[in-house]
Amino acid sequence: MIKLSTDNDRILAAKLQEAGQDHLFSFWEDLDSHEQKELLAQIHALDLPSLLQWITQYRKKGGKNENNKVFEPCHDNPIPRDLPPRTQEEDEAEVEIGEKILRDGKLAIVLSAPSLTRTPEGSTIPLGMTPIGPISGKSLFQLHAEKLVALGKKFRSAPPILLVTSSSTHEQTLAHFQESEHFGLSLQDLKFLEQPTLPVLNRRGLILRKSKHELALASQGHGATLAKLLDPEILKRLKNRGIQHVLFFVVENPLVQLGDTQFIGRHVVGNYQVSSKFVTKESPDEDIGTFCHCNGLPTLIESTELSDSEQNQRREDGSLLFNRGTTHTHLFSVEFLKELSQEEFKLPIHFHDRVTPYIDKRGRNISPKKPNSISFKTYVGDVLSQAEKVLLFPVERSEEFSPLSKSRGDNHEALVQSDLSKLYTNWLMRAGATQSPGMNSNSNDLKVEISPLFALDAEDVGERVELPLTINSDLYVE
């Protein structure tokens, strides 16, 4: 029996033994006092009752997520582009309302950035620190921050920003922002929040260890960011600041439009509780979440939850039946979040297979090549089924969606930079710029970049760019 100095620690050890997880103390005598404190802190942070419940659920379902779900493609009625053509007056009215929401400071921004990525040199950094500007090399974080600075200046009202990290990204993210003076954002408006992590288990339900004094932990996914918004204290702060709506987006998509007044206006006019943007899926196996109906309710699922048959089903026109892919851009009414909080709503847990390095019972470092463990994830999309009014808002992929994701291949960074360059070129061409003969807006020959501090969209470019302008070499506009 290990020697522990406090009653709380001894009670914890007893609970751990009862839960069948006492192997976490097997190297206790090998640790110095500092390492022992670190290990105890990590174990104290565990929600053992919930963990045991999830392990039981995992074993009961044979390691699989729910398999009694019936999926149907999205009903046509809620989809704006499937409705009768809208009038110009309706569109203009929505834009005006969206602008008023931004001017009056009624919108808060939540940026979810819990993930790590590996650099070409082999080190790990927060995904948001990846240099992605086609010419400037600005990081994802800097591009998003500059958009928010520009948005505040454009509408003369800086939105409050909650940047959610994880334990593995928090310190590096803070340092990245501090070293760059927060990219011009005011600390009065920018808050950092670390989402909790969950332990990674082997297939027998035992918590894996990263080292003799460290548990193997993993991010809960973007759903944990939404869970933070249901904290009564955070909702109280939003209310005190007069916030009525919260825009949620993820760090990996540099094409995200944060000041889309049409989207915001339609959300408000329609009195929607949740509004989400979608793109048409490129292929059945594209690795992005899919909007659909599950057991009659709207939801957002992982692509792997659909069977091969469902993923490949097509409509009469040849398009995919399940073709609405998420951009992970969502707009929530604060009233709806408040209702969920009061009902003590909890996002369901999903099981994910993963490859996790660990130490074995002899203390040897093991680096598996194939999935050897499970992690627990929560999805933002699971909240859709709780809403009575959901808007799915279609956007063009070339204008709003190009995620930095390894699912796109080893050259995913180059793909994102190319998509950014094409978008900026298109903005300039729409404003009246021309290209040298033999070039077109989809050309990969030239790199073009526009600083968010110069323009947030094509309309801004049209108002500010100096003509005539011919694009015949790499161009950076600021």
Length of the chain: 478
What's the pLDDT at 84?
A: 56
Q: Where are the beta strands (DSSP E) in 190-244?
A: 190-194, 197-199, 201-202, 209-211, 214-215, 217-219
What's the pLDDT at 225?
A: 86
- 220, 54 Cβ separation under 8 angstroms: no
Tell me the average confidence (pLDDT) per consecutive run of 10 residues in the chain, 478 residues long: 88 92 95 95 91 88 68 64 69 96 98 89 92 98 98 97 92 97 97 91 94 92 87 94 97 97 97 96 91 88 86 90 95 97 92 94 95 92 92 96 87 94 97 83 78 97 95 94
What's the pLDDT at 65?
A: 63
- Between the alpha carbon of residue 395 and those of residues 80, 93, 277, 281, 288, the distances in Å are 11, 19, 7, 12, 15
450, with CB counted inside 10 A (0-12, 13-18, 19+), is buried
DSSP-based three-state secondary structure for 246:
strand
What's the pLDDT at 439?
A: 66
Q: Is the pTM of this model over 0.85?
A: yes
Helix intervals (H) in 115-160: 140-154
What's the pLDDT at 325?
A: 95
The residue whose two tokens read 């569109």 is: 91
- 248, 332 Cβ separation under 8 angstroms: yes
User: What is the helix (H) or strand (E) element at residue 222, kind and residue range?
Assistant: helix 222-229
Amino acid symbol at 83: L
Helix intervals (H) in 210-297: 222-229, 232-240, 261-269
Distance CA 326, CA 298 (A): 13
- Between the alpha carbon of residue 359 and those of residues 21, 36, 116, 198, 362, the distances in Å are 15, 17, 21, 18, 8
Distance CA 116, CA 300 (A): 23
The residue whose two tokens read 């089903």 is: 313
Where along the chain do the CATH 3.90.550.10 domains lie? 71-404
SS percent in the chain: helix, strand, coil, step 5: 35, 20, 40
What's the pLDDT at 306?
A: 87
The class (CATH top level) of 71-404 is alpha beta
Count other Cβ atoms within 10 Å, centred on residue 92.
Answer: 12
Task: Please measure the distance between the N-terminal and C-terminal CA atoms of the chain and give it in whole angstroms.
Answer: 65
How crowded is the C-beta side of 79, counted as CA atoms within 13 Å?
Answer: 17
- 182, 151 Cβ separation under 8 angstroms: no
Amino acid symbol at 87: T
DSSP-based three-state secondary structure for 106:
coil
